[in-house]
Structure 1
Amino acid sequence: MNPRLKVAAACVVLIGAAGYAGYRLGVSEGASAMQGPSMAGATAAPGNVDPQTGKTVLYWHDPMVPGQRFDKPGKSPFMDMQLVPVYADGNSADASGVTIDSRVTQNLGIRTAEVKPAQASSMLDAAGNVAIDERSVQVIQARTSGFVQHVGVRATLDPVRRGQTLVTLYAPDWVAAQQEYLAVARLSQGDLSDAAKARMLQAGMTPAQADAVVRSGKLQTAQGIASPLDGVVTEIAVREGMTVTPGMTLFRLADLGQVWVIAEVPEAQARGITPGQVVTVSTTAAPEPVTGKVDAVLPDVNPATRTIKVRIVLPNHQRKLVPGMFANVRFQGGKQPDMLQIPSEAVIRTGQRTIVMVDAGAQGYVSTEIRTGHETDGMTEVLSGLSAGQKVVTSGQFLIDSEASLRGTSTRLASPTEPSAPAMPESGSMGQGAKP
């Protein structure tokens, strides 16, 4: 072989060996960095008793990096915090709760509240909107063919008074009926006059219009249609110069002396509301709350908010409540017996169950299924599942659930039919750092 080729081959072999040695050195250093405190100067081993708690330690871990386990205490290589011990009684086969070291409880922000019997509030607040009382709506229609000479109101929501002229018409049929009456009235008095007056009413004239012709004895060519109530105009379908036909809608009027309030009540709390129940309605326009009564619980559920509409009749003598105005409705109830109550923030609804995390002392935090009632002023009524004196977690429930997922305990928040997160496999060797 050529000497030059031999030298080149030897150089290639040396370069390859050096590269492989560098690769192995990098892998070894990376593994040492991941192992962190588990490899450097270990003076403690799993199975030792924690002198502060008297519990047997299985391993240490960083709660923020749940896939890593270490065989001794120390500072986490991932976060600027100390490793947390995991005790044997918190991961035993018969453990039903999650035990968290007291040193970590405050850092995790876990707060509890005691289950206490208290007087259940009989008041329920709900949001609502002012609406027109549809029973007060009146439709003004044309009773005969005619021509519009003058319109007294020109815009919707204009206020009108009882007796105010809304529109003035020239109706040929009315003119003919008046002429017939006047001709008969000049010739005779009695049955013929009465029949001629009835003819005017049959043509569509109101009794007041017919009486005006009888009193004056003159032809009334322009006939006005007056408002039958004090209220507002909600619809105008006629303008000057138009031709109207019998049955044509000219106006729609609404009386605002009494209004409706449509309140949105959560469907879980609507069962205690009955027609005739007294309510108090507050608005920004009314200086004082107004008292009204429940008219009906409407069979209509909002699929987005899961609320039921409750219709309330409210007096509005000063006309300060107008349609569309926001209102706060407070439903008054009778005296209720003492019931167990917990803060509403402690209640967790998974979709199939309603549960709370109970502080069971030495057993740790245990999930408990409950049945709830009314919710008022941040407190929820407990119908079953808890007893007075127990403590429920009001903050940090999902951190406890994450810890339960790590340990594979039965206190997961998921319902029995929901797949729970798989438990983390045991590390093959506690002295070899972490295994995901």
Structure 2
Amino acid sequence: MSRFILPIITLIGGLAAGYWLLPAAQPSAPAQSAAASEDEILYWVAPMDASFRRDKPGKSPMGMDLVPVYANQSDASQLPGTVSVSAAIEQSLGVTTSRAEHRPLTQSISATGVIELAEDKLIHIHPRVSGWIETLAITNDGQAVTRGDTLYTLYSPELVNAQEEYLLARARGSQSLINAARTRLSALQFPDALIEQLNSKEQVMQRVAFKAPQTGFVTNLNVRPGFYVQPGTTMMEIASLEDVWLHADVPQRFASAISEGDEVNVSVSAYPERQLTARVDFIYPQLNARTRTLKVRLALANSDSMLKPDMFAAVRFATSTGQPVLSVPRSALIRTASNTRVVLALGDGKYRSASVTVGRLTPEFAEITAGLSAGDEVVTNGLFLIDSESAIDADLDRITPSATDDSQWLTVTVDAVDTSAGTVTAQHPPVDAWNWPAMTMDFALADSIDSSELSAGMTLRAELTRTDGMARITDIDRDSIQSSAQSATVEGVINEVMANSNIINISRGPIEKWGRGPATMDFVLSEALANPVPAASTPALTPGQSIRFTFEIRGDDFVITHIESPAEPVMDMSQDMNHDAHH
């Protein structure tokens, strides 16, 4: 009996020992739950914009698959698209960063304009009665007059009758008749001083002298002594130069940045040493359909009458956002057809591309309306290589080459031209075929396009060709070119080439559209034409050579943008003008 009891006791002891040792040898249920939570998906994000979150798989706004973010990956440095760069590579790339900060943005806008008469200071001289001009003190347009000067004398039977009625009413002593007769004389513009003369001398005047209502100069003189005039005849106009208007053409992209009352700086080529200040007096409600520019009227004081009608002027607007806005250096932006990105510096050599929404642009800074917060560090130099690595890590479909070239003809507006790099910065409308929104981006120019043909402010039709996901301008419709700058194409003869200053003295022919006759003047070669290796289409420039050229008015300079040799030599403009001068 005892030999069976001992094995049973031993078995029970072993089971008891195993029970108490079991918790120490195997993980508990809470530990298993913690391990599982590390692989739990918290949410799904867009590869290029971690702020775009969803609670399930799907597509990003760019059409890419959303990627999961796990519980152990909630740190920003572990999000999709994050790359690590060693300190040595950072130094070799010359990586520099800047913080996103709130700052007021000031933008300088340049435009050209023309001095004009202030229409509210222009007085039209019309008679109120029929009659004959006996004497005329004005002999020609442009003659200066002073307020109170006699302009002309008029014989009018109607004025004679009105004077007789007034004297008859005075003789009768009826105050009501006197008042009615005096009112009639005033309505016929009979001067008050002559009414007093009637009272004292009681003698009808056959000739009535009419005075200048303001100081200025006469324009549009339409009468001569002896002319018969009647109500409705425009005899002349008197313009004042105390104040003048300046009409400037502003590119449409800056329309929202200009307000009435803004002060602007004005310079006139006739007086390069003078800097004038004007204010925006009126903004016209409609754009110019041909140049796509907004017409703005500026009011300038001109007490010394130095500013003359039809003078060209350069206008510079300085616009500000007023309140500080979140912005980053413009060099931090990567602008493509599909989106605009920055490269975030996350610290410890980690970087990630992030999609942003851009507002107002200045030459130095870009307003960020979405995608960044104040204090975020962005890369300003060396960002393209980092962005490329980040894009590969995020498996972006934008690097997938297209099977074939794809072209679209669009109307674009040129913002800037980089002749050395052969690129332009231009605005384009939405491209439905490519699923592109309207935006501003950089385009490379095909070898067949001479960058000297293009300038800021131009609007033209261009062929955009997309290859391997990138777009460039491969052709332009030259007949569609419209420019906000004053430009003209004319023939002329080269008199002198000043190579050191890139200035050419040319005797040019007449410019019919501006009503300008032949002239000899200095022109400045554009940057592209002044390049030591000019475009193949540009002929050699030598004195005595006949050329056909296109120039623009840029501020105080007449800049030649395109030169070609005409099929046949043009006449010698300088000799022609010398001949005219002697005759």
1:133 to 94, 118, 125: 118
- Identity over aligned residues, as a percent? 25
Where does 1:269-288 land on structure 2 (aligned, <5 Å)?
A: 269-277=254-262, 279-284=263-268, 285=271, 288=274
The secondary structure found in structure 2 opposite 1:270 is helix
Q: Which residue of 2 aligns with 1:383?
A: 369
Measured in 2, the distance between the counterparts of 1:386 and 1:411 equals 25
Find the aligned partners of 1:354 and 1:233 in 2 and give their Cα distance: 59
Amino acid across the alignment from 1:261? L
Q: Determine if contact 1:268/1:374 at 8 Å carries over to the other structure.
A: no
1:330 has 2:330 as partner: no
The one of 143, 150, 154 aligned to 1:158: 143
Partner amino acid, structure 2, of 1:235: N
What is residue 280 of structure 2 aligned with on the other side?
294
CA distance in 2, matches of 1:257, 1:139: 17
- Contact in 1 for aligned 2:215/2:240 (Cα 8 Å): yes
Which of 296, 302, 309 aligns to 1:310? It is: 296
Query: 1:228: Cα distance to partner?
Result: 1.0
Residue by residue over 1:78-106, the C-alpha shift from the partner in whole angstroms, topping out at 9 and shown as x without a partner, is: xxxxxxxxxxxxxxxxx999xxxxxxxxx
Count of paired positions: 319
Q: Deviations over 1:267-308 (max 9, x none)?
A: 44333433334x033223385544444333321223455433
Counterpart-to-counterpart distance in 2, 1:111 and 1:153: 74
Q: Are 1:175 and 2:160 matched, yes or no?
A: yes
What is the CA distance between 1:143 and its match in structure 2? 0.8
1:255 aligns with 2:240: yes
Distance change in 2, residues 1:193/1:389 (3 Å): closer
2: CA distance, partners of 1:205 / 1:349: 73
- Pick the aligned partner of 1:211 from 196, 201, 218: 196
Q: Distance in 2 between matches of 1:311 and 1:135?
A: 13
Distance in 2 of aligned mates of 1:236 and 1:370: 62
Tell me, yes or no, if structure 1 residue 235 matches structure 2 residue 220: yes
Q: 1:265 to 1:393 in 2, by over 3 A?
A: farther
- Work out whether 1:410 is the aligned partner of 2:428: no
Q: Identify the match of residue 134 of structure 2 among 149, 161, 168.
A: 149
User: For residue 297 of structure 1, what is the amino acid of its counterpart?
Assistant: I
Q: Contact 1:113/1:343 (CA < 8 Å) preserved in 2?
A: no
What is the CA deviation profile of residues 21-69 of structure 1, one whole-angstrom value per residue up to 9, with x for unaligned ones? xxxxxxxxxxxxxxxxxxxxxxxxxxxxxxxxxxxxxxxxxxxxxxxxx
Distance in 2 between residues matched to 1:111 and 1:152, nearest whole Å: 78
Q: Note if 1:226 corresponds to 2:211.
A: yes
Contact (CA 8 Å) 1:149, 1:241: kept in 2 or not?
yes
Shift of 1:248: 1.7
Decide whether aligned partners of structure 1 residues 306 and 380 sit closer, same or farther in structure 2, where only a CA change above 3 A counts. farther
Kept in 1, the 8 Å contact 2:156–2:206? The answer is: yes
Structure with more strand by fraction: 2
* Shift, 1:160, TM fit: 2.5
Point out the more displaced range, 377-386 or 290-299: 377-386
Change in Cα spacing, 1:383 to 1:229, as seen in structure 2 (3 Å) is same
Displacement of 1:202 in angstroms is: 5.1
TM-score by length of 1: 0.55
1:246 corresponding residue in structure 2: 231
Structure 1 CA distance for aligned equivalents of residues 226 and 382 of structure 2: 71
- SS of 1:205's equivalent in the other structure is coil
Residue 347 to residue 268, structure 1, CA distance change in 2 (3 Å): farther
Alignment RMSD (CA, Å): 5.2
Please state whether the residue corresponding to 1:249 is helix, strand or coil. coil
Map residues 34-53 of structure 1 onto 2, 5 A cutoff.
none
- The verdict on how the C-alpha distance between 1:172 and 1:346 changes in structure 2, with shifts beyond 3 A counting, is farther
Tell me, yes or no, if the aligned pair for 2:133 and 2:153 is still in contact at 8 Å. yes
Q: Does the 8 A contact of 1:146 with 1:245 survive in 2?
A: yes
1:372 partner amino acid = V
TM-score relative to the length of structure 2: 0.43
Q: Which residue of 1 aligns with 2:327?
A: 340
CA deviation after TM superposition for structure 1 residue 170, in Å: 1.8
Q: Which runs of 5+ in 1 are unaligned?
A: 1-94, 98-109, 424-436
Letter in 1 for 2:435: T
Distance 1:301 1:269 in 2: 12
In structure 2, relative to structure 1, the CA distance for the partners of 1:322 and 1:175 (3 Å cut) is same
**Against the structure 1 CA distance between its residues 241 and 291, is the aligned structure 2 distance closer, same or farther, given a 3 Å change threshold?**
same
**1:180 offset after TM fit, Å?**
5.1
What amino acid does structure 1 have at the position aligned with 2:326? M
**Contact 1:117–1:339 (CA<8 Å) still a contact in 2?**
yes
Alpha carbons of structure 1 residues 214 and 299: separation in structure 2 relative to 1, 3 Å: same
- Contact 2:132–2:227, Cα closer than 8 Å, also in 1: yes
How many Å separate the matches in 2 of 1:255 and 1:322?
Answer: 11
Which structure 2 segments of 5+ residues have no match? 1-79, 83-93, 402-430, 437-464, 470-583
* Alignment partners' CA distance in 2, 1:354 and 1:252: 58
C-alpha displacement of 1:410: 0.8
- Residues 350-398 of structure 1 show CA distances to partners (whole Å, capped at 9, x for unaligned) of 5xx66468699999998x765433333454434345675434689999x
- Measured in 2, the distance between the counterparts of 1:184 and 1:201 equals 15
User: Are the structure 2 counterparts of residues 228 and 357 from structure 1 closer, same or farther at C-alpha, using a change threshold of 3 Å?
Assistant: same
The SS at the match of 2:109 is strand
